[in-house]
Amino acid sequence: MQELDTAGLGSVRVTRKSDNVVVLEKDLATEQMVLAMGPQHPSTHGVLKLECLTDGEVVTEAVPYLGYLHRCFEKYCENVDYPAIVPYTDRMDYLSGMNSEMAFSVAVEKLLDIEIPRRVEFIRVIVAELNRIASHLVAIGTYGIDLGAFTPFLFCFRDREHILSLLEWASGARMLYNYIWIGGLANDVPADFNKRVREFVAYFRPQAKELYRLLTENEIFVKRTKGIGIMPADVAINYGWSGPMLRGSGVKWDLRRNDPYSVYPELEFNVAVPDGKFSDIGDCLSRHIVRALEIDESLKIIEQCIDKMPGAEGFDPKSAIPKRIRPKEGEVYGRAENPRGELGFYIQSDGKSTKPLRCKARSSCFVNLSAMKDLSKGQLIPDLVAIIGSIDIVLGEVDR
C-alpha cells in the first residue's frame, strides 16, 4: 500500500482502519457568518436591523437593533398639554391611529372624573374596530408578500382603501386622524356614516371569506408557516406578549373582555384563539389565523354598535371635554387592546399642571419583539422572515 501524502490537505485527519481501508476526515465545521438583515430590508417592515449569526443556513442567534425611528415621544409629552399628545399617538402606530388615540384617551379619562356621552363611546368603538380591520389587512397582506404570495396583498389593500375613505370622511385624514379627543370627539360622524358603514360590512364579509380561502388555507402558505416559531403559552406570558401574539399561543386574553373599557362589556364577540386542528398552537400560522378570525369579530362589533347607537339629536361631541384638561394628582396605568396587543400609558400628574409629569408608552410591538432572540434560535433564514412577519411590528411604535 502506498503511503498517503497528506501535505496540502489542511485539517484532514487520517486514520488507517485496516491494511486497505483509510479514512480521511475533513473538519466540516463551517465558519460562523454575521449577516446584517436591515435596517433597509423589505421584510423587516420598517427600519429594524437584525444582526444574525449564521451557521450555513441556520440562524444561531438574531439580535435586534432598534431606535432608527426614535422620535422622543415621552420627552415631547412632558412639554405639551394633554390634548396636543393625541395627534402624536397617531404617529406611533400609524396603521391603527384610532386605536392608539382611544388607548391614550381611556388612560387620561381615568384621572379626570368625567362622564363620556354614550354616542361618543359607540362612535369610538366603530372607528376603532374599522381601523383594527384595516390594520389586520395590512398585516395579512404584507405577511403574504414576505412569503411570496403577492395577490392577497392587492385584495387587502383594495378593501383597506374603503375603510380609509370611511375614516377620512369622518375625520378628514386617511391615516393620522386626531379624531378621538380626551373626553369626546373632534366632530360628529357625517349624517349617512352609519348607512355607509353597514354597506361596507355587507360588502366586506364575503371578501374576508375569499381572502381566508386564498391565503390562510393555501397549501404553500401553510407549509411555510405551520410549526415555525412555536411559542408556548407560559413563556409568552413571561415575555409580556399580548394581543394576537398571546392568543396565537392559545391564551384567551383580550383586554376588551378581560379589562373592559368603553362600551365593550355590552357587545357580544368571541375572543379568537386557534383550535389547534389546522395549525400547531403557538406557531406563525396560529398568529395569522387569529388576525384573520378577528376581522370577523370586528365586523360583528361594528354591526352591534350601529344598532345600539343613540341618535344624533342634540348631540355635541365636545360636551364632556373640560375647558382645561388638568387631571387630578396621581398616577394611572391605562390601556386598550390595539391590533398589535396591549397599548398602555403610564401617566403621572401633579394635579396643577396641564402637562404630564411623566408619560410612558408601553408599546405592544416593542414587547412582542423582545422575544426575537429566543424565537429565532436554530431557525432557517427564510423562516426568520416568516417569524418577523408573524410578529407584525410597526417600527413607529417600537421606537416611538
Q: Show Cβ contacts of residue 289 under 8 Å, excluding neighbours closer than 6 positions.
A: 216, 248, 272, 274, 278, 279
Write the binding mask 245 to 284 for another protein: x where contact by CB under 8 A, - elsewhere: -----xxxx-x-xxxx----------x-------------
Closer to another protein by Cβ: residue 177 or 261: 261
Distance (Å, rounded) from C-alpha 264 to C-alpha 305? 10
> Would you count residue 330 as binding another protein (CB under 8 A)?
yes
Report the residue from 32, 40, 57, 67 that binds another protein according to the rule CB under 8 A: 67
230 binds another protein (CB under 8 A): no
User: Closest CB to another protein among 19 and 113?
Assistant: 113
Residue 75 or 277: which CB sits closer to another protein? 75
Residue 119 or 400: the one with the smaller Cβ distance to another protein is 400
| Pick 217 or 234: Cβ nearer another protein | 234
Indicate the Cα dihedral angle 117, 122, 127, 130, nearest 10°.
170
> Judged by CB under 8 A, does residue 362 bind another protein?
yes
**CA–CA gap between residue 384 and residue 387 (Å, rounded):** 5
In angstroms, give the least distance from the CB of 346 to another protein.
5
Distance CA 256, CA 270 (A): 10
| Residue (17 or 75) nearer to another protein, CB | 75
Closest of 202, 170, 174 to residue 185, by C-alpha: 170
233 binds another protein (CB under 8 A): yes
Instruction: Check the CA dihedral 94-99-105-110 and report its sign.
Output: negative
Q: Pattern 91-110, binding to another protein, x per CB under 8 A?
A: -------------------x
Task: Candidates 81, 346, 381, 382: give the one binding another protein (CB under 8 A).
Answer: 346
Of 70, 213, 308, 377, the residue at the interface with another protein (CB under 8 A) is 70
* Among positions 51, 55, 74, 280, the unique one binding another protein when judged by CB under 8 A: 74
- What's the chain's length in residues? 400
As given in the structure block, the three cell numbers for residue 264 are 365593550
- Our CB check for another protein shows the closer of 196 and 360 to be 360
Distance CA 129, CA 124 (A): 8
Query: C-alpha distances in angstroms, 39 versus 33, 35, 140, 262?
Result: 18, 12, 22, 38
Residue 28: half-sphere exposure toward Cβ, Cα within 13 Å: 3
Residue 317: burial class (beta carbons within 10 Å; 0-12, 13-18, 19+)? buried
240 near another protein, rule: CB under 8 A: yes
Interface ranges with another protein (CB under 8 A): 66-67, 70, 72, 74-75, 78, 110-111, 233-235, 237-240, 250-253, 255, 257-260, 271, 330-333, 335, 342, 344, 346, 348, 358, 360, 362, 366-367, 370-371, 374, 399-400
